[in-house]
C-alpha cells in the first residue's frame, strides 16, 4: 500500500517537474470531449433511388466534405438505414423523423423541369440534417431549393447552413434538445 502511494506520488512529482522545466504535460481528453469530436454516423439506403443513385451518393459525399459533426454512409447489407432515399414521379421532398432520420424522395417532376439531380439530393438530405427551406434565396444557399431557379446547380451548403448542422448535432451530442424537423412537402 505504501509503495503504491509512493509510486503514485513520484509520478505526480515527475509530471509536474516536466511541466515546470518546459516539458509538456497534457491531460487525457474527457470522454465527453472525445464523443463530441467524433462524427455521428448516419446510414442511408439509396437502393430505391433508381436512376438517381449516383446523385444521392454525390449529395451524401458533399455533406461529408462540408461538415464534421455527421458522416453519411451507405447502409450495410442487412442493416436498417437512418435515411431512406426513393425515386418517384412527384416533386422532391423530405419527410424527417428526428434529426438525422427520415425519408427523401427524389422526384422526377423537378428533374424533368431541368433541376440538377445532385443539388436536389444534397438539398433534400439537408432537410434530414435539420435544415428548413430558405425561400426565396440565392443560388449560393443550398436550402433556397427551387427558388434559385433551374440554372442553379450549386449542391454545396453555405457557411450558415454548415454551421447550423454542426450546432444541431453538437447539441444532440451534449444531450440538449433541438427543434424537431418538419416535413418538407412539394411546394414548400
| Active-site choice (124, 161, 164, 166) | 124
Let me know: does 93 contact 185? Beta carbons within 8 Å: yes
Q: What pLDDT was estimated at residue 22?
A: 45
Q: What pLDDT was estimated at residue 175?
A: 86
| Residue 29: strand, helix, or coil | coil
Whose cell is 435539420? That residue is: 130
User: Per-residue pLDDT tens for 131-144?
Assistant: 999 999 999 999 99
CA distance 82 to 55: 18
Whose cell is 432537410? That residue is: 127
Q: What pLDDT was estimated at residue 93?
A: 97
Q: Does 187 score more than 50 pLDDT?
A: no
Q: Is 124 a catalytic residue?
A: yes
Which one-letter DSSP state was computed for residue 188? -
CA distance 182 to 184: 6
Q: Which of 100, 98, 99, 117 lies closest to 108, judged by CA?
A: 117
Amino acid at each position: 500500500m505504501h509503495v503504491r502511494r509512493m509510486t503514485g506520488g513520484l509520478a505526480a512529482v515527475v509530471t509536474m517537474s516536466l511541466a515546470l522545466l518546459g516539458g509538456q504535460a497534457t491531460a487525457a481528453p474527457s470522454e465527453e470531449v472525445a464523443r463530441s469530436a467524433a462524427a455521428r454516423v448516419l446510414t442511408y439506403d439509396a437502393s430505391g433511388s433508381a436512376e438517381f443513385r449516383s446523385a444521392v451518393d454525390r449529395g451524401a459525399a458533399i455533406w461529408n466534405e462540408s461538415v464534421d459533426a455527421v458522416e453519411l454512409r451507405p447502409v450495410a447489407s442487412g442493416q436498417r438505414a437512418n435515411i431512406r432515399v426513393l425515386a418517384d414521379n412527384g416533386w422532391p421532398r423530405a419527410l424527417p423523423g428526428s434529426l438525422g432520420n427520415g425519408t427523401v424522395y427524389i422526384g422526377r417532376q423537378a428533374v424533368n423541369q431541368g433541376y440538377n439531380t445532385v443539388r436536389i439530393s444534397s438539398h433534400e438530405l439537408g432537410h434530414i440534417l435539420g435544415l428548413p427551406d430558405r425561400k426565396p434565396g440565392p443560388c449560393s444557399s443550398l436550402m433556397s431549393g427551387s427558388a434559385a431557379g433551374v440554372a442553379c446547380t450549386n449542391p454545396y451548403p453555405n457557411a450558415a447552413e454548415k454551421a447550423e448542422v454542426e450546432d444541431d448535432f453538437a447539441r444532440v451530442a451534449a444531450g440538449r434538445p433541438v427543434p424537431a424537423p418538419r416535413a418538407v412537402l412539394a411546394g414548400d
